[in-house]
Amino acid sequence: MTATEAEPTLIGSVQRALRLVDIVANSARPLPAKSLAALTGLTPGTTYNLLRTLIHEGYLANEPDGLVLGSRFPTFRTELDSRGVFLARVRAALREVTDQVGATAYLSRYSDGEMHLVDIVDAVRSPRIELWVGLDSSAHATALGKQILADLACDERLDYLSRHRLEELTPRTISDRRTLLTQLEQSRGFAVDREEYSVGNSCVAVPVIAPGITASLAISLPADRAVVDESLVATLQQAARRLSLQLGADSLGGGGAGAELDI
């Protein structure tokens, strides 16, 4: 057997395309085409041509802030823990909510004892809140954080609050520990912050629960037109329930449904 016969025939363009998908699948954030070109060492022209094909075939999807995994990628056998897979499913759920209610949507996650903002999808006519304090220091003042705190076991909740000061971010922030605990214990399957994080803005969040995942999905609205009614909560819970199932939930009990970007 000659050396040529012993070596398999490799298609360079396929290798390069798979490399692009692999990078996106392992990224916690959407990646712009220019970043992918830099990471792979490919020319911009080659990168754009490969990405155009991968997007057309559904293996990647083009978002305003970069490339994420497309709808066909989850058909591969892959670990759900892949940051790219997790982000792609979260992004799709947030986009669905934004399209339905016309408000910017957010998802936060509790991991290793801390709160993390995972992703945001902006609504054209309802831009995101200016995120001036990180979620790790403002969970008590945000619907995103309060929903997760309500879903934690009592000992985890007390441990978290013992490690984080309840800073008064606005005149409406709940900075008294006992008052906050009472509110969390009375949770009805959704959480609201009414100008507690940002004056002029309100948020409503619902739980996203799956094996190994405690998270919350929220929207923000201008306080003067923030009507939190049954219809809005039901819409958010429906989206959260679908996301929970996609993330591997075996069942969703009576209440609502459950890579990081620090704010």
Q: What pLDDT score does 147 carry?
A: 97
Same domain assignment for residues 133 and 237: yes
Q: Is position 176 within any domain?
A: yes
> What's 120's domain CATH number?
3.30.450.40
Same domain assignment for residues 153 and 71: no
Same domain assignment for residues 24 and 108: no
Same domain assignment for residues 39 and 139: no
Q: What pLDDT score does 29 carry?
A: 81
Q: Is position 258 within any domain?
A: no
Q: Is position 1 within any domain?
A: no
How far apart, in whole angstroms, are the C-alpha atoms of residue 83 and residue 260?
9
Pairing assessment for the beta strands 105-111 and 213-222 based on DSSP bridges: antiparallel
- Could you report the per-residue pLDDT of 156-165, keeping only the tens digit for each? 999 999 999 9
Ranges of beta strands (E only) in 64-200 are: 66-69, 105-111, 114-121, 191-194
Long-range (24+ apart) CB contacts under 8 A made by 50-56 are 50/13, 50/16, 50/17, 50/20, 51/20, 53/17, 54/17, 54/20, 54/21
> What's 32's domain CATH number?
1.10.10.10
- Could you report the per-residue pLDDT of 42-80, keeping only the tens digit for each? 998 999 999 999 988 888 888 888 888 887 765 544 444
- At which of 75, 96, 124 does a domain end? 75
Closest CA to 219 of 230, 232, 231: 232
Q: What pLDDT score does 256 carry?
A: 38
Same domain assignment for residues 118 and 54: no
Q: How many domains does the chain have?
A: 2
Same domain assignment for residues 61 and 93: no
Closest CA to 27 of 72, 77, 75, 91: 91
Cβ neighbours, 10 Å, residue 262: 12
Share of the chain above pLDDT 70, in %: 87
Same domain assignment for residues 111 and 239: yes
Phi, psi of 72 (to 5 degrees): -85, -20
Q: Is position 255 within any domain?
A: no
- Is it the case that residue 251 has pLDDT exceeding 60? no
Same domain assignment for residues 137 and 24: no
Domain limits at 47? Answer: 11-75
Contact yes or no for 206/233 (Cβ under 8 A):
yes
Question: 115: which strand partners?
Answer: 110
SS3 186: coil
How far apart, in whole angstroms, are the C-alpha atoms of residue 165 and residue 96?
34
Same domain assignment for residues 159 and 66: no
Distance of CA 169 to the CA centre of its chain: 24
pTM tops 0.95, yes or no: no
| Tally of residues, the chain | 263
Mean pLDDT of the chain: 85
Q: What pLDDT score does 236 carry?
A: 95
Q: How confident is the model at residue 166 (pLDDT cuts 50, 70, 90)?
A: very high
Q: Is position 154 within any domain?
A: yes
Closest CA to 33 of 42, 242, 167, 58: 42
How far apart, in whole angstroms, are the C-alpha atoms of residue 159 and residue 140?
13
Q: Is position 256 within any domain?
A: no
Q: Is position 262 within any domain?
A: no
Q: Is position 6 within any domain?
A: no
Same domain assignment for residues 43 and 100: no
Same domain assignment for residues 109 and 188: yes
Same domain assignment for residues 18 and 147: no
| Residue 240 one-letter amino acid | A
Q: How confident is the model at residue 28 (pLDDT cuts 50, 70, 90)?
A: confident
